[in-house]
Amino acid sequence: MATNRRDFLKISGLTLGLSFIDTKSAAAPLLKRFGSNKKQKMTLSFQLYNLKLKHTFTVASNSRTTTPVVLTQIEYDGIVGYGEASMPPYLGETQASVTKFLSKVDLSPFSDPFQLDEILAYIDGIEDKNTAAKAAIDIALHDLTGKILNQPIYKIWGLSKNNTPNTSFTIGIDTPDIIKEKTLEAGNQYKILKVKLGRDNDKEIIETIRSVTDLPLCVDVNQGWTDKKMALDMIYWLKERNIVFVEQPMNKENPEDMAWLTQHSPLPTIADEAVQRLADVKSLHQAYSGINVKLMKCGGMREAHKMIELAHALNMKTMIGCMTETSCAVSAAAQLSPLTDWADLDGNLLITNDLFEGVKIINGKVTLNDRSGIGIRKI
């Protein structure tokens, strides 16, 4: 389904109404226009959209075939930056909550989109939580500022696209025959695979995958192991089978057991559910070897960048992950990937109705392009 821009809700100052945003003038000479004396304003608009999943997505509590998102645009001086909020149901945000949040946003006091610190501090202060809604603003502002400067964000941050990691691709929980089939298929395209563990058949799943591939694997336990000694035994067993790291092995509310496990573990332990925002990182550095940073958890690219820098300063490993998202939010996350040890950026590959083209996975590697902003174009 193509985007109908007339469906975008436009918010200018405190007014709210249906409108059509003309993006054609984006091709005008950008810096010249930006340098004009005419007072410009930023205009936020957004659209609800449902991502269709290629395969039914199953977690312990439910199965689903769609993921709701909200797509944002911030327009300034004829240039449009795109953003996105993705709301998998287990994270607590919905299209209704994001709509409510975005309807409170008033960008009129800010003179231009380069006031990122001030704008994002204001956004963060509107209401607690709502990190996906906040990310949708943050991503659009980054896309917009990059477009005005006519450079990709990774270049503005001084990063090299040569330093991007391989992305892992997740093999879903399934019957052994289907796991083998999916592993063989993914093994042709990816250099590292990710497997969900934490049920009662962990060894069986690993052995099934190991019967068809020697590729490095990472495992995500999603807090599923309850006993630290059993967890350590399992990690030793996994180490013998070329596992790279173990994500969120135990309950996030149990930092003492996690610290013991990390201290004894022969493999890096990575916090996912246990880490959301910048303020969480410092307290985790004894309990985990690294963190999985996701834009929808932390409120966007600017905070994600700070989290990764802080983690490195604390000698922790870093990983950039995503939710099920279009190429908009995934490409935004990918701008950070040259900074990280690992990437798990397969969210846009799991849907059939992407609205954007952006970051690509080529021979398993996150491959950034030279487009300005977050590197996307509408398709």
List contacts with Mg ion (CB under 5 A). 220, 247, 272
CB of 222 to Mg ion, least distance (A): 6
| CA–CA dist 193, 217 (Å, integer) | 5
Cα-based torsion angle of the residue sequence 144, 379, 354, 20 in order, rounded to the nearest 10 degrees: 60
Place of tokens 């990918």: 334
Identify which of residues 76 and 169 has a Cβ nearer to Mg ion in the complex.
169
In sequence order, the 6+-apart residues with CB closer than 8 A to the CB of 215 are 187, 190, 191, 192, 193, 242
Residue nearest to Mg ion (CB): 272
- Is the distance from CB of 172 to CB of 57 less than 8 angstroms? yes
Identify which of residues 81 and 88 has a Cβ nearer to Mg ion in the complex.
88
| CA–CA dist 73, 46 (Å, integer) | 6
CB of 107 to Mg ion, least distance (A): 33
Identify which of residues 143 and 247 has a Cβ nearer to Mg ion in the complex.
247
Identify which of residues 44 and 293 has a Cβ nearer to Mg ion in the complex.
293
Q: Could you give phi then psi for residue 365, rounded to 5 degrees?
A: -100, 140
CB of 336 to Mg ion, least distance (A): 17
CB of 220 to Mg ion, least distance (A): 4
Identify which of residues 45 and 223 has a Cβ nearer to Mg ion in the complex.
223
Identify which of residues 293 and 376 has a Cβ nearer to Mg ion in the complex.
293
Identify which of residues 153 and 334 has a Cβ nearer to Mg ion in the complex.
334
Residue 342, classed as helix, strand or coil, is strand
CB of 196 to Mg ion, least distance (A): 8
Question: Beta strands of the chain (E only): which ranges?
Answer: 9-12, 15-18, 42-58, 63-76, 79-86, 168-171, 192-196, 217-220, 243-247, 269-271, 290-294, 317-321, 342-344, 356-357, 360-362, 365-367, 377-378
Q: Which residues pair with 16 in a beta bridge?
A: 11
| CA–CA dist 280, 75 (Å, integer) | 33
CB of 91 to Mg ion, least distance (A): 12
CB of 273 to Mg ion, least distance (A): 7
Question: Beta strands of 175-328 (E only): which ranges?
Answer: 192-196, 217-220, 243-247, 269-271, 290-294, 317-321
Q: Which residues pair with 169 in a beta bridge?
A: 193
